[in-house]
Structure 1
Amino acid sequence: MSTSTVGAGLRVLHLGKFYPPASGGIESHVQTLARAQAAQGAQVEVLCANHSSDSGNTSHEFHGRSPTHESWDGLVRVVRLGRRASVARMDVLPELPGVLRRMLERGVDVVHLHTPNPTMLLALDLVPRLPTVFITHHSDIIRQKVAGALFRPLELMLYARANRILSDSEAYVHGSSLLKMFRQKVRALPLGIDLEPYLKPSPEVLREEARWREEHAGVPLWLMVGRLVYYKGLFTALEALARVPGRLVVVGVGPLEEEGRARAKALGVESRVTWAGYLPPDSLMGAFRAATALWFPSNARSEAYGLSQVEAMASGLPVLNTAIPHSGVPWVSKHEETGLTVPVGDSNALARAARRLLETPGLAEQLGQGARARAEAEFRDDVMATRCLKLYSEALGRPSPVVAEEAPHEVSEESVRGAS
């Protein structure tokens, strides 16, 4: 069967928190999956909150009012609901119940929720009769322990009703008490991206690569990409930079930026850190191609996967990541194959790994080649979409499409016990 028709006739509704141009790994994943499923014949809609104001503020840190907006992203219909307020990480979306009801009444085969997403989860809890429900569980609620405990009954209610629960990696299931409760429903579905812009860079990307190389000629260029929040390991990176030559380009913004700038000054590395904010895609892809390595020093299971690792790998860039227990991070980029993995929170180890790349002839090139090969084999968006559509068909009791790629597998009780 041609992959262009794998999803023919399936009507899919994705419920996300936000949608690009909102930044973030989950947001990018929802867009990638929706687009790839639509390319394979499914009718795909996305319902989410509008992350931007009329003035064009598109930051994660924007918590004000926004209007309702509907648009098309290629073949994907996107409905961004107006937000009245954001309270304790929950978006107040007055139109959500009515819009969701009307979308379901028009006919939906699969509702696919992406969590953490308390607003959309609560909305589904209130719907008495649901079609087939899939939940992609991107991360447990790690740090907000009180809020997580209060929210858990509502979470359990919907997870019990779900037909399938998807995890980014099998490793994450082993450390999640919530997923282990529903392990018979859980399937591992690795996230993928559209690799073409990375494997076949545009002239604009190549120009950006040349600019990065010219501006940092003869100096190791280290990249760190992601929101500046507690689990990204920003301070670990700054402490490591004090022990290695080169410049660290921090791509992203967030609540820890001000403290990070102060920490860089105290460490004496202020002049070797570039706070780049959000970079346009061409500039970021050019930076991936020009850099020496991606630093990915995340320190908690809130980091369940790390799509920026895949972007770097597809660019042929080695990754220096951390061995977060029960997280997919060290599975995405493997030690000595696509990069180097160091203990969590160990700035000395991160610095040693960086120096090893600089001092071992051919190592960076070898790991970069391995990174690109692994990205092509495991993290293509069309493979992810086909696997997901196959799971939809199985849950709906429809004939499953025949595909060449290995299908996602059930996470067995024995597997979970053995890793606990």
Structure 2
Amino acid sequence: MLKTLNYRIIHLSKYYPPDRGGIETHVQTLARSQAALGAEVHVICVNAFDQHGHFSNRTQTVNETDCNVQVTRLGRFLSFARFDFCPKVLSNLCRLLNEPNTLLHLHTPNPTMLLALTLLPRRLPLVITHHSDIIKQRILKYVLRPFEYLVYSQTSRVLTTSSQYIQGSKLLRLYRHKLSILPLGIDFLNYIELNQLAVDFSQYLKAKYGETIWLVVGRLVYYKALHIAIEALTLVPGTLIIIGTGPLEQELKALAKKLGVNDRIVWLGHVSEDELIGAYQAATSLWFPSNVRSEGFGLVQVEAMASGCPVINADIPCSGVPWVSRHEQEGLTVPINDSIALASAAKRLLYEPGLRTKLVIASRKRSEYFNQETMAQRSFELYEEVLSQESNYIGIAKPVNL
């Protein structure tokens, strides 16, 4: 095992839990795992909630500690077109950059932090995890492109969560000489060593909605393609439980009513981590119909697999989604935007003898590949390579073995 190194890591994330999302969950898991292995870890992100816990465009800066991770949630003055205006972002960054062995780890897409990096007074060791390209927001994409080129050209290493994503990304292909693969990870013991709250919630869902439960987890946004899941429900028995909120909620509810399945859909909104794990345990399958490359990995797939909940995902071209849960190995993969194919795959899990049991066993084994300790140790290997190039950075010392 790699020896722990004396690192000072600053993760630049857009948001951080309890804000839910694949990137947010990944940053928290990675930061906690790195801190547990002895690194000094900070996270700088945007504070999206006011003091009452309500979403707000105007917030205050808050400093917290999360399992030995120092978290600075920057107050924002305004949020517009997916860009958060945070007046104190640069001052907070500069305050943390004066110690040896400091390394910045940017998680993109992240317009606020990306622009802040272009204003730093000196170059520092920088690693970028490129979670996905900006797909739909064309104006934002072209406005940010010069800044992306500047920051990506200065970074020491660009990480992608799967090799599949590189083929479809013009931006990543420009930096092939800097690319490394670092898949996302989870603390999978949370999903196999259940506490009583998760067990109770799982039993509650089964008692109330029966043995056939289909589950969707994610923000209610365009690329999650929840309309495909709702259409598929018209062709299969059971109840669809949707965990998540987002701007398309009312539109999706209207579609469910139009198709006559609104009485078989449960909209749970935000849930606790224990309730989420309980939902995975109760579900017959996780439906993951995301249809564009804004979905680069799909971390909830790993959570479901660790819980023994097979995944039905969509074959998004040049995305890591169908690589995480592989067709006929750990789950079933269907064409994008095909509700009939999604329903047919769901019926296979219900009626094909032995199929679901086989996929449950394979899913749990596959999930171990994405464990958080392996991810953290691999990140240290990459950091060591970057920090060893100390001649490129003023005042940055080589790592010191503990």
Whether TM exceeds 0.5 here: the answer is: yes
1:190 and 2:187 equivalent? Answer: no
**Distance change in 2, residues 1:243/1:400 (3 Å):** farther
1:350-365 matched pairs, under 5 angstroms:
350-365=342-357
Aligned mate of 2:246, from 254, 263, 274: 254
SS of aligned partner of 2:97: helix
Provide the residue aligned with 2:372 in structure 1.
381
**Distance change in 2, residues 1:182/1:232 (3 Å):** same
Relative to the length of structure 1, the TM-score reads: 0.91
Aligned mate of 2:168, from 157, 170, 175: 175
**1:63 positional shift:** 4.4
The one-character-per-residue Cα deviations of 1:100-144 (angstroms, maximum 9, x if unpaired) are 111112445210000000110100011131221000000100001
**1:150 positional shift:** 1.7
Q: Work out the CA distance in 1 between the residues paired with 2:147 and 2:279.
A: 42
Provide the residue aligned with 1:409 in structure 2.
none
1:14-413 matched pairs, under 5 angstroms:
14-57=11-54, 62-217=55-210, 219-376=211-368, 378-397=369-388
Q: Work out the CA distance in 1 between the residues paired with 2:43 and 2:63.
A: 10
Q: Work out the CA distance in 1 between the residues paired with 2:196 and 2:353.
A: 30
Q: Work out the CA distance in 1 between the residues paired with 2:192 and 2:123.
A: 41
**1:334 positional shift:** 0.5
Q: Work out the CA distance in 2 between the residues paired with 1:159 and 1:198.
A: 36
Q: Which runs of 5+ in 1 are unaligned?
A: 403-420
SS of aligned partner of 1:12: strand
Q: Which amino acid aligns with 1:226?
A: G
Is 2:57–2:77's contact at 8 Å kept on the other side of the alignment? yes
Structure 1 runs (4+) greater than 4 angstroms displaced: 398-402
**Distance change in 2, residues 1:278/1:172 (3 Å):** same
**1:11 positional shift:** 0.8
The one-character-per-residue Cα deviations of 1:68-90 (angstroms, maximum 9, x if unpaired) are 11011111111111111112211
Q: Which runs of 5+ in 2 are unaligned?
A: 390-397
Relative to the length of structure 2, the TM-score reads: 0.95
Is 1:7–1:38's contact at 8 Å kept on the other side of the alignment? no
Query: What is the count of residue pairs matched by the alignment?
Result: 393
Provide the residue aligned with 1:407 in structure 2.
none
The one-character-per-residue Cα deviations of 1:140-186 (angstroms, maximum 9, x if unpaired) are 00001122012100110000000000001010011100000001101
Q: Work out the CA distance in 2 between the residues paired with 1:29 and 1:349.
A: 30
> Please, which moves more after superposition, 360-369 or 291-300?
360-369
Q: Work out the CA distance in 1 between the residues paired with 2:93 and 2:301.
A: 34
Alignment RMSD (CA, Å): 1.5
Q: Which amino acid aligns with 1:148?
A: K
Q: Work out the CA distance in 1 between the residues paired with 2:340 and 2:321.
A: 20
- Percent identity of equivalent pairs: 50
